[in-house]
């Protein structure tokens, strides 16, 4: 059973388009993190959201944590080829240590020039 | 940011042999490190928490005798896959925490023939 469901699994778009990636669960998380992973590399942290309803922006990336802290979304505006990569969401349960994260399967994003 | 070095990047071995994977924190000390496994099109799954100077903590379903973890210094943790079999083929990644953030190694692709 997958604790965190990410959708879509694959996304292929043209440069300049907008996109949204979803991360859903029936469980409540104390925090949720978004990572980006390149082929043959480890994940790199993009953002951590902690408070229900929280919205964080990182340049053209907007992250939102659901009010109930069960889901999150990542929105990219005017995507660029450099945004290509695997985007992973990861949730931390209540009382969990930092490394005990539950990862989604990821969304593979390809942005064509 | 902090750097976590993982070695080797990939390894091919015969069934029945043992393989050691190293994870080093290059510019900081890590009393705790985490080992994950990632199968194709699957999530990163936490295998164990490596504790410097004491026994590792394994997640449910992970065989302690098969996946030996040693954390002998504040900058090095090793994962040894003993008597490897084809079903152990996977992408293994380590991470180390620093200042409430997780930094990941670049991963090791293990292929057991």
Q: Which of B34, B105, B109 sits opposite A99 (nearest CB)?
A: B34
Q: Which chain A residues have a beta carbon less than 8 Å from that of B9?
A: 40
pLDDT of residue B39: 86
B91–chain A nearest CA distance, Å: 9
Is the predicted pLDDT of residue A5 greater than 80, yes or no? yes
How far does CA A61 lie from the centroid of its chain? Answer: 10
Q: Find the closest chain A residue to B109 by CA distance.
A: A40
Q: How many CB atoms lie within 10 A of CB A36?
A: 19
Q: Which chain B residues have a beta carbon less than 8 Å from that of A89?
A: none
pLDDT of residue A2: 62
Closest among B90, B71, B66 to B23, alpha carbons compared: B71
Closest among A20, A25, A46, A26 to A107, alpha carbons compared: A20
Q: Which chain A residues have a beta carbon less than 8 Å from that of B34?
A: 99-100
Question: What's the pLDDT band for B41 if we cut at 50, 70, 90?
Answer: confident
The DSSP result for B65-82, as a single string, is: TTEEEEEEETTEEEEEE-
Cα(B54)–Cα(B13) distance, integer angstroms: 29
Question: What's the pLDDT band for A42 if we cut at 50, 70, 90?
Answer: confident
**Sign, Cα dihedral of B57, B6, B86, A89:** positive
Q: What is the mean pLDDT of chain A?
A: 91
Is the predicted pLDDT of residue A48 greater than 70, yes or no? yes
Query: Do β-strands B4-7 and B90-98 pair in parallel, antiparallel, or remain unpaired?
Result: unpaired
Q: What is the pLDDT of residues A49-77, one digit of tens each?
A: 999 999 999 999 999 999 999 999 999 99
Are A42 and B107 a contacting pair, CB within 8 Å? Answer: yes
- In chain A, the percentage of residues whose pLDDT exceeds 90 is 73
Instruction: Please give the torsion angle defined by the CA atoms of residues A4, A10, A15 and A18, in that order, rounded to the nearest 10 degrees.
Output: -40
- In chain A, the percentage of residues whose pLDDT exceeds 70 is 94
A102 contacts B43? CB cut-off 8 A: yes
Are B29 and A94 a contacting pair, CB within 8 Å? Answer: no
Cα(B45)–Cα(B43) distance, integer angstroms: 6
Q: Once rounded to an integer, what is the mean pLDDT over residues A34-48?
A: 90
DSSP reduced 3-state for A83 = helix
Cα(A92)–Cα(B34) distance, integer angstroms: 14
pLDDT of residue B68: 96
Is the predicted pLDDT of residue A1 greater than 60, yes or no? no
Q: Does B28 touch chain A (CB under 8 A)?
A: no
Is B54 or B81 the better-scoring residue by pLDDT?
A: B81
pLDDT of residue B72: 84
pLDDT of residue B42: 79
Q: Once rounded to an integer, what is the mean pLDDT over residues B61-67?
A: 94
Please give the structure tokens belonging to residue A75. 């929105």
Cα(B3)–Cα(A110) distance, integer angstroms: 27
For tokens 């990219």, what's the residue? A76
pLDDT of residue B4: 94
Q: What is the pLDDT of residues B13-26, one digit of tens each?
A: 999 999 999 999 99
pLDDT of residue A21: 98
pLDDT of residue A3: 81
């Amino acid at each position: 059973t997958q604790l965190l469901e990410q959708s879509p699994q694959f996304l292929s778009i043209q440069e300049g388009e907008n996109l949204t990636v979803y991360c859903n669960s029936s469980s409540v998380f104390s925090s949720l993190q978004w990572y980006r992973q390149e082929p043959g590399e480890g994940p790199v942290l993009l953002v951590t959201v902690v408070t229900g309803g929280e919205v964080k922006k990182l340049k053209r990336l907007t992250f939102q944590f659901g009010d109930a802290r069960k889901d999150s979304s990542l929105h990219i505006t005017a995507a660029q080829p450099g945004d290509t990569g695997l985007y992973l969401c990861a949730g931390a349960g209540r009382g969990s240590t930092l490394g005990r994260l539950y990862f989604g399967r990821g969304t593979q994003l390809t942005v064509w020039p | 940011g902090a750097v976590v070095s993982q070695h080797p990047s990939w390894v091919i071995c015969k069934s029945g042999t043992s393989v050691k994977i190293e994870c080093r924190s290059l510019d900081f000390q890590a009393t705790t490190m985490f080992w994950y496994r990632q199968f194709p099109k699957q999530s990163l799954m936490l295998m164990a928490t490596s504790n410097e100077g004491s026994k590792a903590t394994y997640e449910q379903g992970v065989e302690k005798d098969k996946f030996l973890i040693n954390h002998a210094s504040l900058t090095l943790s090793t994962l040894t896959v003993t008597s490897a079999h084809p079903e152990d083929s996977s992408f293994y990644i380590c991470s180390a925490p620093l200042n409430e953030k997780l930094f990941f190694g670049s991963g090791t692709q293990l292929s057991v023939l």
